[in-house]
Structure formats: structure tokens, C-alpha cells
Amino acid sequence: MERELIRWLRERLPPHPRLLLGPGDDAAVLDMAQTTQCVVTVDMLTDGVDFQLGEIDPRRAGRKALAANLSDLAAMAARPLAGVVALCLPRQGGMELAVALCEGMLPLAERYKLAIAGGDVNSWDGPAAVSITLVGETTERGPLRRGGARPGDRIVVTGAFGGSILGRHLDFEPRVAEALELHGNYELHAGIDASDGLSLDLSHICEESGCGAAIDAGAVPVADDARRLAERRGDGSTPLDHALADGEDFELILAVPPEEARRMTAEQPLDVPITDIGEFIDGAGLWLAEPRGGRRPLVPRGWEHRL
Amino acid sequence: MERELIRWLRERLPPHPRLLLGPGDDAAVLDMAQTTQCVVTVDMLTDGVDFQLGEIDPRRAGRKALAANLSDLAAMAARPLAGVVALCLPRQGGMELAVALCEGMLPLAERYKLAIAGGDVNSWDGPAAVSITLVGETTERGPLRRGGARPGDRIVVTGAFGGSILGRHLDFEPRVAEALELHGNYELHAGIDASDGLSLDLSHICEESGCGAAIDAGAVPVADDARRLAERRGDGSTPLDHALADGEDFELILAVPPEEARRMTAEQPLDVPITDIGEFIDGAGLWLAEPRGGRRPLVPRGWEHRL
């Protein structure tokens, strides 16, 4: 199956200026002559956890697997360069599934000028797993890290949060272009993509930066999906709860100096809204500042490996 | 579990001169200022296919997963640089298994000066899967590819073949240093590592190079394990059959101009034997030349995804 898939891929992959040797050898070869720093990220998605192959077009699963990885490049404000794809497939219907997963990836790869450089295909008696590793390159401003937030920095986010399980977790657009735009034109101290959940991912920035954060409850952009999900669940959880904890929003969470945050939110340079939702503070922990005053501790929530 | 494993890893990973940012962020950052070309390879190994976790120390499985990937860098004659590890683990005992897998990798990483740069950890209701992606860099002689063999080139191999299932498939030494040594000091036209099986991997070189190959049956270095396995199986298969088709020998198969092959086999510059086992020929297909004269077609055999 592997040779067959390589042949299929080779017929469909556009040439890429940085890919000197593509699928079919023991490794791909990339031109790095102009690259000072590269970033490497891997994310493995599995059937039954990150998507349900029995319920969706497998192209959407393939697209999601690549998009989630592109979102990690966005979190570093890195330009996509190349990716390799390792597939573990059920023995029955493996080739068709592999083709469908790749068909979901190819348009996204082309859109972000990412070379599909190689891969590995395995069959087994388990569910499908898709592991993608991406190589990107930093811009002249270097990588955007989690560890640079300082007390007083504003918490700035793109887009809206919550309820992604209703469909957005599959069809989201990774904020690659947005991260490059913001990193290039504003001073950013730290960044992460919201995969685990707004509060949990914010806590990752805090942990790496050695500070805390206070979110303005009234400022969080709550997605319509979060409202729909709260209503549908009817379990007492509010749309804000969903926005803070659902995860897989794949939006950017940034630490931005106050002056720059004001400029950024005023200029709104992206197609997606940019919102100031609070500030990084001295000390540890997350807090939720209520619109009517007062603040309460916020337990970071989200899922490490889940839908 | 993921944060816990990252903490565990961070305490154990030695600093690496090329790793600017290691595990714990959305991506690792590598210094590529001195690198002209990098190679990228991925290989996913799974419980029940590539190893049996119920029967072996999981450290050996972790070691094998990394060694198999290092063997792909060897096949390109590339220097190891950094790797990322994606794990899919059963929900029960996942953290202990993750630690054991990593414990199997770390000494090998240190030996080959490979930075463990990051990873991804997932839990699910399936068996364990280990996907490793390695980044290496080519030397000033460029990558060793599959596609450069020419009719008249000699087929030169390191080590001995067959019967790796008796244990060598877990504990082999990837031929990283050997490939760099040979690529640096001799003219090599093509190369591959023997993972699928000597005859099948040789056919991959032929396919990419547009030629055929004739193996001298009497020249193939047959491992003692191949003899033991043939005896144990008692199914009529000969030690040579095992040497040609078992796979997971992780030795080098090289296409070498005749004059260089003579020099190489005379000089024997490695700790492991180098053997000339035949020649690349015009036309397609593999042939087996019998010691008593005459040759017969050889069907490439091996497994694409198996022990």
C-alpha cells in the first residue's frame, strides 16, 4: 500500500521550491540555505478521540490533522515549510482511507505553501491514527514563545471561543497568516494557540512565563456555537464556561504590552476580530474578573487529549 | 500526562548546541544557520506489529523506534540533528509506558548527538503507537539517494542478513556512523537501509534508478540468526531465503562504482564487514546468480509493515 500511495501522491503534489527530494526515498531533502532557525512540531490525531471516522467524511479528518499542526506553527509565528505524514490504518479499506485523508490535506498544504515531503504508512488491527510533523521557519523577528508574558501585558485573542465540537473543530482555519501579520507589525511577548481550552492554554503561557492572568469575564468573545451548545446541553453550564474550557478553537492567545494592545485592537488589522480579554498579573494562577466587580479564582479547564 | 512527561523529560535531556527551544512549547526551535540542506524522515511503529509490548521490556521498543528512524538517516548519509516523538498510548499505564519508551530512546539519542526536541502524547483505547520524526543534515557531499544506481555498479552491503526476528530487529545498531564514513571516503551512487528485506529494498533502489540487479547467491552474507531460524522453522526455507526476505536487518545496501567497490572491500574501513554481493544491470527486475552458474529471476520479498 505504501508504494501505491506514494505513486498516487507524486502525481498530485505540486513542485515546491524548497523541496529538493520528495516522497519515495528514505527521507525528504529540504533546501535550508536561507533559513536561520527552523521550528518542528508534531501532533498525532486518532479516530475516536479527535474525530469519528464513522460519522464524517475522512477528508475532514485529514484536513483537521494538518490544520491542527499548522495551528502550532501559527502559535510560534513561523512560516510553514514542509510536513511528513505517518498513518496507521485499519487493514480493511486502508488505501481508500489513506487517499481520502490525503485529499483533505492537499488543498490546505497548497494554501499555506507547505510541501508534503514524505511519510510512512502502516496497517494494523487498531483504529486510524494520523501523525503529522511540520517544519517551519521563523521570521527575522524570531519565534513567538509561550514564556515571554510579563505582568501588565494584555491578554489578546483572535476570534471567538467555545462550542467547537459542533463542527468548528474540524473546519477551522489555522491562524498562520494572522500570526505572521501580528508578529511582524506589533510587539508580542508570548503566544499559544487555543487547542486545549482558552483557560488551560492561558495557564500554559502563565506557567512558562512565571506569572498569573486575570480574564475579564465580560470581555471574552463567546462563539455562537458556545451558546448553542450550552442551550443544547442544558446542564447549567453557561456559554462563557464553554468558551473558557471547550478547546479546539485554534485561535491565538497572545501576551501584548498595553500600548501595543491598544493599537492592535484599535487598528483591527485582521479579517477576524482581535479582542483584549484581560491582563497578565504578578503571582500564579488564573482569575476571572466579574463585570460587576470582584474576581474569583478560575480553575484552568480543558482536555489534554480529546475532542 | 503530557505536562508530566515533559517535566520528566526536561530533567533528563542534556543541553544540545543546536536546540534553541526544547519540549514544552508549541514547537521546538533549531539553529539551522550552518545547514544548507536538511533531511526529514518519519517512521511509526506499533504494538503487535513492530514489537510485542506484552513480551519485551518496553525500553527495547522505544529504542527500536528511534533506531529504525536513525537507520533512515543513515540511508541518506545524513547527520542526526533532532527528533520529535508522538505517542499514542493505552489509557491504562500510559505514563509508565511513556517513561519506559523514552528511557529506551535517550541513550541512543545521546550516542548519536540527536536532540529530543519535542513531542505529543495521546491516550486512547487502542494499542501503543510510536511515531518518530527525525531531522538530519546532509554533509558537503549531499544526500545519498535511492535513485543513482547505474548498470555496472556493484551491490555492496554492510553486515549480515536474515533471522532478525530472533532479537536483532530490536537491538540492532543503526549504521549512521558507517554511512557517514563510507559517503565521506568513497564514491557512492545510491543507498538504502534494509528494513523491508534485502531483495525488496534492493528492488526499491532499482525502481528509483531505472535498472535491475543480479545478486550472487553465494556472496550474500547470511546471519547466524538466518541459519537458526531456517532450522527452527523446518519449512523448507533456506538460510539464504531468510537473508533475502526477512527484513529489519537495518544494514546498508549501496550502489558503488566497481573500482570503488574493490577499494572499499579491500580496505574494510568499518568495524562491520563490507561485502560485494552482485551488480546492478541493464533492464528491470532482480536476478539470483547461482554459484554453479546460471541465474534465475528473484521475486523481491519482504514485508512492508510487519515484524
Concatenated DSSP letters of chain A: -HHHHHHHHHHHPPP-TTEEE-BTBSSEEEE-TT-SEEEEEEEEEEBTTTB-TTTS-HHHHHHHHHHHHHHHHHHTTEEEEEEEEEEEEESTTHHHHHHHHHHHHHHHHHHTT-EEEEEEEEEESS--EEEEEEEEEE-TT----STT--TT-EEEEES-BS-GGGTHHHHPPP-HHHHHHHHHHS---EEEE-SS-HHHHHHHHHHHHT-EEEEEGGGS-B-HHHHHHHHHH-SS--HHHHHHH------EEEEE-HHHHHHHHHH--SSS-EEEEEEEESSSSEEEE-TTS-EEEE-----SS--
B146 in any annotated domain: no
Residues 6+ apart with CB under 8 A from A272: A158, A159, A175, A178, A251
Residue of A nearest to B36 (CA): A33
Whether ipTM > 0.85 holds is yes
Contacts across the A-B interface (CB distance below 8 Å) = 226
* Within-domain flag for A143: no
CB contact under 8 A, B88 and A136: no
Given CB atoms, is A302 within the 8 Å cutoff of chain B?
A: no
Q: Which residues pair with A274 in a beta bridge?
A: A158
Residues of B in contact with A29 (CB under 8 A): 37-39, 76, 138, 143
- Span A49-61, average pLDDT: 96
Residues B259 and B215 in one domain: yes
* CB contacts, 8 Å: A27 with chain B: 39-41, 72-73, 75-76, 78, 134, 136, 143
- List, for residues A235-274, the tens digit of each pLDDT value: 999 999 999 999 999 999 999 999 999 999 999 999 999 9
Per-residue pLDDT, averaged over A65-70, amounts to 98
Q: How confident is the model at residue A305 (pLDDT cuts 50, 70, 90)?
A: very low
With a cut of 50, say whether residue A306 has pLDDT above it. Answer: no
User: Which residues of B are less than 8 Å from A87 in CB distance?
Assistant: 44
Considering the domain architecture, whether residues B54 and B163 belong to the same structural domain is answered as no
Which among B24, B143, B305 is the nearest to A122, CB-wise?
Answer: B305
CB-based contact A145 B117, cutoff 8 Å: no
Does the pLDDT of residue A87 top 50, yes or no?
yes
B192 shares a domain with B134: no
Q: Are residues A25 and A125 in the same domain?
A: yes
Q: Which residues pair with B115 in a beta bridge?
A: B82
Question: Is A288 part of a structural domain of the chain?
Answer: yes
B283 touches chain A (CB under 8 A): no
pLDDT of A125 reads 85
Write down which residue in A70, A104, A138 finishes a domain.
Answer: A138
Please say which residue of B138, B169, B199 terminates a domain.
B138
Nearest CB neighbour to B26, from listed A3, A41, A124: A41
Contact B80, B116 (CB under 8 A): no
Contact list, A76 vs chain B (CB under 8 Å) = 25-27, 29
Which pLDDT does position B305 carry in this prediction? 45
pLDDT digits (tens, 9 = 90+) for A150-192: 999 999 999 999 999 999 999 999 999 999 999 999 999 999 9
In the chain, the amino acid numbered A44 is: M
Q: Mutate which of B46, B69, B131, B307 to disrupt the A interface (most A C-beta within 10 Å)? A: B131
Scan residues 140-169 of B and list those with Cβ closer than 8 Å to A: 143, 145-147
Does A177 reside within a domain?
yes
Cβ <8 Å between B40 and A30? yes
Residue A80 is part of a domain; what is its CATH number?
3.30.1330.10
Give the global pTM.
Answer: 0.95
Question: Taking CB atoms and an 8 Å limit, are B44 and A124 in contact across chains?
Answer: no
The angle at the Cα of A120, spanning B174 to B215, to the nearest 5 degrees, equals 55
Query: B85 and A42 in contact by Cβ < 8 A?
Result: yes
Last residue of a domain, one of B104, B138, B172: B138
B275-B276-B278-B280 Cα dihedral, nearest 10 degrees: 120
Residue A221 lies in a domain: yes
Whether residue A76 has pLDDT greater than 90: yes
Instruction: Based on the fold, state whether residues B197 and B236 are members of the same structural domain.
Output: yes
Report the side by side order of strands in the sheet with A19-21: A19-21, A28-31, B37-46, B129-138, B78-90, B115-124
pLDDT in tens, A208-218: 999 999 999 99
- Tell me if residue B108 falls in helix, strand or coil: helix
**Would you call B21 and A145 a contact, using CB atoms and an 8 Å cutoff?**
yes
Q: Which domain holds residue B76?
A: 2-138
Chain B residues with CB-CB distance to A46 below 8 A: 88, 122, 124, 126
Q: Please check whether residue B90 lies inside any domain of the structure.
A: yes
Specify whether A75 is located in the same domain as A190.
no
Are B131 and A44 in contact (CB < 8 Å)?
A: yes
Give yes or no: residues A134 and A168 share one domain.
no
Residues A162 and A112 in one domain: no
Nearest by CB to B86, which of A30, A36, A42?
Answer: A42
What CA–CA distances, in Å, run from B123 to A160, A193, B28, B187? 28, 21, 22, 47
* Cβ-defined contact of B124 to A85 (cutoff 8 Å): no
How far apart (Å, rounded) are the C-alpha atoms in residues A110 and B9?
A: 35
**Running along chain B, 307 residues long, what does each successive block of 10 average in pLDDT?**
88 96 96 97 95 96 98 98 96 94 97 97 91 97 97 98 96 98 98 97 97 98 97 94 97 98 98 98 95 92 58
Beta-carbon separation of A33 and B33 below 8 A: no
Q: What is the pLDDT of residue A304?
A: 54
Total domains in chain A come to 2
Give me the residue label for grid cell 463542527.
A167
- Name the burial class of residue B294, with classes exposed (0-12), middle (13-18) and buried (19+) by CB atoms within 10 angstroms of its CB: exposed
B283 and B230 in a single domain? The answer is: yes
Residue-level pLDDT at B304: 54
C-beta atoms of A135 and B40 within 8 A:
yes
In this structure, are B168 and B211 located in the same domain? yes
Between positions 194 and 213 of B, the ones with CB within 8 A of A are 208
Q: Are residues A54 and A184 in the same domain?
A: no
**What are the start-end ranges of the H helices in chain B?**
2-12, 58-75, 94-111, 168-171, 176-185, 198-209, 224-233, 239-245, 258-267
Write the CATH number for A234: 3.90.650.10
Q: Is A307 on the interface with B (CB under 8 A)?
A: no
Rounded to the nearest 5°, which phi and psi values hold at A211? -145, 180
Asked if B134 and B169 sit in the same domain, the reply is no
Measure Cα distances from A234 to A221, A224, A230, A237 in Å: 21, 16, 6, 7
Partner-chain contact A21 B48, CB within 8 Å: no
Please tell me the distance in Å from B26's CA to the nearest CA on chain A.
Answer: 5
Is B107 domain-assigned? yes
**In this model, does residue A141 exceed pLDDT 70?**
yes
Looking at the complex, report in whole angstroms how far the Cα of residue B36 sits from the nearest Cα belonging to chain A. 4
Asked if the structure places residue A306 within a domain, the reply is no
A133 inside 8 A of chain B by CB: yes
